[in-house]
């Protein structure tokens, strides 16, 4: 995936979900750094370890350009929120950004679009890069509701971001039915939805729509990555299962490098 005419650099982010201890994270960092090779020079690369392994990943990737993301955060700076972590806490660790609104959290923790809008703004204000996840369920797609769902998620999620800062957000289009199912969207489905997401950003700012990176997520694997990445609006991927082995993730980064 050579750099788009718009100048958007390919972007690959691995979501570890609730996998890897500190010891395992350290081993992964070493293996990824030795497997990335030249591809790492053409692609922005990030990983999202669980909270407990963030410091080890930040330390291991220090000076390499690989970005470390948290998988969630609170919109509040501090307060009576047992079990939560704030943007200043992540920043102090050296974390680069945060994934917000992953469908597993929307489903299991009841994250709402309105609450996510506050989190996106809090992340940006703190100096963290938000990756906002959006995507329809199978039922919504089958019922012709995909665009309505995406519109709501994108508009509410970015509602509080001033137009001139929209380009600092990364969006991951992750159809829920494709996550962890081995049933990736087709390249055409990914392109259609991602072009729609980009157009929604364009309703707020044409310039931001050109700049914002929109990733595809959902069962990306070495055998389907190149076709998905060949689509003009797809800027890379948020990868779950296939990012858990460093060598596999490095293979996907190489596919994104084109």
**Residue 37 is a binding residue for ligand PEP (CB under 6 A):** no
39 near ligand PEP, rule: CB under 6 A: no
Residue 101 interacting with ligand PEP (CB under 6 A): no
Q: What are phi and psi of 208, to 5 degrees?
A: -65, -35
Q: Is 176 in the site for ligand PEP (CB under 6 A)?
A: no
Active-site entry in 111, 136, 140, 174: 174
220 binds ligand PEP (CB under 6 A): yes
Restricted to residues 222-241, the positions that interact with ligand PEP (CB under 6 A) are 238-241
Contact between 29 and 61 under an 8 Å Cβ cutoff? The reply is yes
3-state secondary structure (DSSP) of residue 73: coil
CB of residue 101 to ligand PEP, shortest distance in Å: 11
The yes-or-no answer on residue 19 being catalytic is: no
Query: Which of 57, 179, 212, 252 contacts ligand PEP by CB under 6 A?
Result: 179
Q: Are β-strands 236-239 and 67-70 bridged in parallel, bridged antiparallel, or unpaired?
A: unpaired
Task: Pick the stretch among 122-130, 159-167, 173-181, 228-236 that binds ligand PEP (CB under 6 A).
Answer: 173-181
Most distant CA pair in the chain, distance: 47
Instruction: Work out whether 174 is an interface residue with ligand PEP (CB under 6 A).
Output: yes
Q: Provide the minimum distance between the beta carbon of 163 and ligand PEP in the complex, in angstroms, as a whole number.
A: 27
**Binds ligand PEP (CB under 6 A): choice among 8, 10, 12, 15:** 15
Q: What is the CA radius of gyration of the chain?
A: 17
CB burial string 224-243: b at 16+ within 10 A, e below = bbeebbebebbbbbbbbbbb
> Tokens 């929209």 appear where?
166
- 81 a catalytic residue: no
> 67 forms bridges with which residues in the sheet?
46
Q: How many CA atoms lie within 13 A of 256 on its CB side?
A: 30
Looking at the Cβ atoms of 134 and 208, the one nearer to ligand PEP is 134
Distance separating alpha carbons of residues 245 and 251, to the nearest angstrom: 10
- Which residue's C-beta sits nearest to ligand PEP? 240
Cβ 134 to ligand PEP shortest distance, Å: 12
Calculate the alpha carbon distances from 72 to 43, 51, 59, 154, 223 in Å: 24, 9, 20, 17, 29
C-beta of 133: minimal distance to ligand PEP in Å?
A: 7
Q: Is 180 in the site for ligand PEP (CB under 6 A)?
A: yes
Of 212 and 238, the one with the shorter C-beta distance to ligand PEP is 238
Token couple for 165: 């800062």
Closer residue to ligand PEP, CB minimum distance, 10 or 240:
240
Catalytic residue among 81, 84, 102, 136: 102
Measured CA distances, 181 to 14, 117, 177, 194 (Å) = 17, 28, 7, 20
Q: Which residues are catalytic?
A: 102, 174
Site residues for ligand PEP per CB under 6 A: 15, 174, 179-180, 217-220, 238-242
């Amino acid at each position: 995936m050579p750099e788009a005419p718009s100048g958007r650099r390919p972007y690959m982010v691995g979501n570890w979900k609730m996998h890897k201890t500190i010891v395992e994270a350290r081993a992964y960092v070493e293996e990824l750094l030795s497997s990335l090779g030249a591809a790492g020079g053409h692609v922005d690369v990030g990983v999202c370890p669980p909270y407990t392994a963030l410091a080890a990943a930040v330390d291991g990737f220090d000076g390499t350009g690989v970005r470390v993301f948290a998988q969630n955060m609170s919109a509040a700076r501090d307060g009576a929120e047992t079990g939560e972590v704030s943007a200043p806490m992540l920043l102090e660790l050296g974390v680069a950004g945060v994934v917000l609104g992953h469908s597993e959290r929307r489903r299991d923790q009841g994250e709402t679009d309105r609450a996510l809008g506050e989190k996106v703004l809090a992340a940006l204000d703190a100096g963290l890069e938000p990756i906002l996840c959006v995507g329809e369920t199978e039922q919504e797609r089958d019922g012709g509701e995909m665009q309505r769902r995406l519109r709501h998620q994108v508009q509410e999620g970015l509602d509080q971001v001033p137009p001139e800062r929209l380009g600092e957000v990364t969006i991951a289009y992750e159809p829920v039915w494709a996550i962890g199912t081995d049933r990736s969207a087709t390249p055409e489905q990914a392109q259609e939805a991602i072009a729609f997401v980009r157009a929604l950003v364009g309703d707020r700012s044409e310039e931001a729509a050109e700049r914002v990176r929109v990733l595809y997520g959902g069962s990306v694997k070495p055998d389907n990555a190149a076709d998905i990445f060949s689509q003009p609006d797809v800027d890379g991927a948020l990868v779950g299962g296939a990012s858990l082995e460093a060598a596999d993730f490095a293979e996907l980064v190489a596919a994104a490098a084109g």
